[in-house]
Amino acid sequence: MLDTIDAEADLNEELKTRARVAVASTLMARGSAWLSAHAAVRDRSWVIIHAALSNIPATMEDLRASRMQRAGILEFAVHAVFIWWMQTGSDEAQSAVLKILTSGDKAGVSILFQLAHGHRLKLGEKWWRLLYLGLLWSALSMVMPRFGYEPDEGARWIRWLNWLRNRRLDGIAATRAQIDPVEIAKRLERLEKVRWRREFGRRDALRGPPPDQRRTAGLAWDFLEIMFGWLWWEQDNPNPLWNDEVAFQEQQQIVLSLWAFELWLNHRPRVDRKDDPVPHQLAFNAIQTIAKMMTKASDLATRELWEPVLKLGATGHYSVGHFISCWFFETARLDATEFAARWRPMIAYALDAPEWGHGRPWYYGQSLLRQILGFGSEAFLDRNPEFQGIVRDMSHYYERWAHEHLSRDEDNVTRLCFFLASSTGRSLRMKGLAWLQQAVASKSWYRPEMGNALVEFLNVTLTQDARGLRSDTEARGAFLALVALLVSKQVPAALTLQERARRSFSNA
């Protein structure tokens, strides 16, 4: 294969180099017995791998350029380097691992941590050490001097890079407790403040906010997203590793430490806006993983997972809303009773938390309350008839929400109508009629959507629950009052609905 690649005249050198590295890495990772009997090929493969490692950028300019390129070399070479490290543990092998870690090659870094996670039990403390050094690199890469930097700044950063690349992966005690992104980010911010003060004092510096008013951009979230790629689980079924209690606890602690980093970075008090910024993809990955992990955690332990997200309330509506959406996806993978046992405490928490119903901006708080009650997720809930009984048993939550919040926003009325019209919300329809009548009786209408939603709900109720309306005097009175109100508002189809109701009740 190597001879064939060298003799190929129709391929450019970049493709040929990639092919050589792929062949050499495969031989070194999978053909150790064969290589032992073919010394010439073994030596040739080593030369190819060492050449690939020597081309890893060592200057800031080359590191920047490497971010724009993807030759696809290290994603092959990392297999050979990892086996080399596992088999020998030599200083040269450790240095090669750290060069790949700090190379800026996303594919190579991703495979490095996937391989290390797969061998984490054998690696032991070296696994945690590798993760810790990865966190350091996520900080160091953020303070790489920008264009126009002072010469001493560039030299200082290169010294830090070389220092990191020469750390040891073995012989140093390391535990999961060291995987603390917030602690690393705080150290980074202290370092950045020193730089900001120095730059602010220069005459030729571009003026901006004073150093004490600036905030760090945090760790390199795109690197962390790749580094912890083994943690995110995007498949339908839960991660099989979560069946092991120790592995589950370790992953839970890590994903919560990453979420704590998101809280520290983007959810500290701000004076320039009422709500928090859109999270990075790292935070969205953490949220999705937390929602999936809740299906494996016990009923009592799930609060440790959802409370750090839900406590944000209205100001963190991007994160909280995404979490709730991810949670309702789990209705397809979790028994309805088990889902409800985890769902109920979240509803109770949201109704009690001032950051929700009375949070700022208030309209996001109202939207989140609707979402946690299942409004907008009817398609998921309707697929399982058991949720009809579950929602009936939770009617006190819906009644409390209706009394405290229904009249505050037209969207509350609209979304409640859609929910009550669904199969899951059917058990609440008779009570819901009274809630809606009280909410809209003295309410000014600004958007036609609310009237249309009321007509649709009342039409469904008359079609499916006419017998219940005839036997429930209070519900029938609320129904007729709503119909009369819709007619007075000249809502389309209201007159037709009124005539249908007259015929239905006159035949009773």
pLDDT in tens, 51-73: 999 999 888 888 877 765 555 78
**Is residue 486 a part of any domain in this protein?**
yes
- Domain identity same for 245 and 185: no
Is the pLDDT score of 190 beyond 70?
yes
Quote the mean pLDDT of the chain.
Answer: 91
Q: Domains in the chain: how many in total?
A: 3
Helix axes 245-266, 181-200, angle to 10 degrees: 20
- Domain identity same for 79 and 186: yes
- Out of 327, 347, 372, pick the residue that ends a domain: 372
- Domain identity same for 238 and 367: yes
**Is residue 475 a part of any domain in this protein?**
yes
- Domain identity same for 365 and 411: no
**Is residue 339 a part of any domain in this protein?**
yes
- Domain identity same for 254 and 336: yes
- Domain identity same for 156 and 108: yes
**Is residue 32 a part of any domain in this protein?**
no
- Domain identity same for 356 and 455: no
Q: How many other CB atoms sit within 10 Å of the CB of residue 89?
A: 13
Greater pLDDT, 201 or 488: 488
Greater pLDDT, 417 or 275: 417
- Domain identity same for 363 and 438: no
- Domain identity same for 365 and 248: yes
**Is residue 41 a part of any domain in this protein?**
no
pLDDT in tens, 101-118: 999 899 999 999 999 999
Residue carrying the six token digits 């700090």: 102
**Contact yes or no for 437/478 (Cβ under 8 A):** yes
**Is residue 217 a part of any domain in this protein?**
no
pLDDT at 430: 96
**Is residue 421 a part of any domain in this protein?**
yes
End-to-end CA distance of the chain: 87
* Residue range of the domain that includes 490: 406-508
Is the pLDDT score of 477 beyond 90?
yes
Sign of the CA dihedral 56, 58, 59, 60? positive
Task: Return the minimum-mean-pLDDT range out of 78-87, 333-342, 346-355, 439-448.
Answer: 439-448
- Domain identity same for 344 and 296: yes
- Domain identity same for 241 and 347: yes
Average pLDDT value for residue range 268-297: 87
pLDDT at 390: 97
- Domain identity same for 430 and 340: no
Q: Say what the pTM is.
A: 0.91
**Contact yes or no for 98/53 (Cβ under 8 A):** no
- Out of 179, 200, 221, pick the residue that ends a domain: 200
Band (271; pLDDT cuts 50, 70, 90): low
**Is residue 170 a part of any domain in this protein?**
yes
Cis peptide before 361 (omega within 30 of 0): yes
3-state secondary structure of 446: coil
pLDDT in tens, 1-51: 999 998 888 888 888 999 999 999 999 999 888 888 899 999 999 999 999
pLDDT at 211: 73
pLDDT at 203: 57
Q: Map 204-267 to HEC letters.
A: CCCCCCCHHHCCCCCCCHHHHHHHCCCCCCCCCCCCHHHHCHHHHHHHHHHHHHHHHHHHHHHC
- Out of 372, 387, 422, pick the residue that ends a domain: 372
pLDDT in tens, 195-247: 888 777 765 555 567 777 778 889 999 999 999 999 998 877 778 899 999 99
Task: Return the minimum-mean-pLDDT range out of 2-6, 95-99, 325-329, 382-386.
Answer: 2-6
Q: Which pairs count as long-range contacts for 301-310, CB under 8 Å and 24+ apart, including other chains?
A: 302/342, 302/345, 303/345, 304/252, 304/256, 305/252, 305/256, 306/342, 306/346, 307/349, 308/256, 308/259, 308/260, 308/263, 309/259, 310/346, 310/349, 310/350, 310/353
Is the pLDDT score of 302 beyond 90?
yes
Is the pLDDT score of 402 beyond 80?
yes
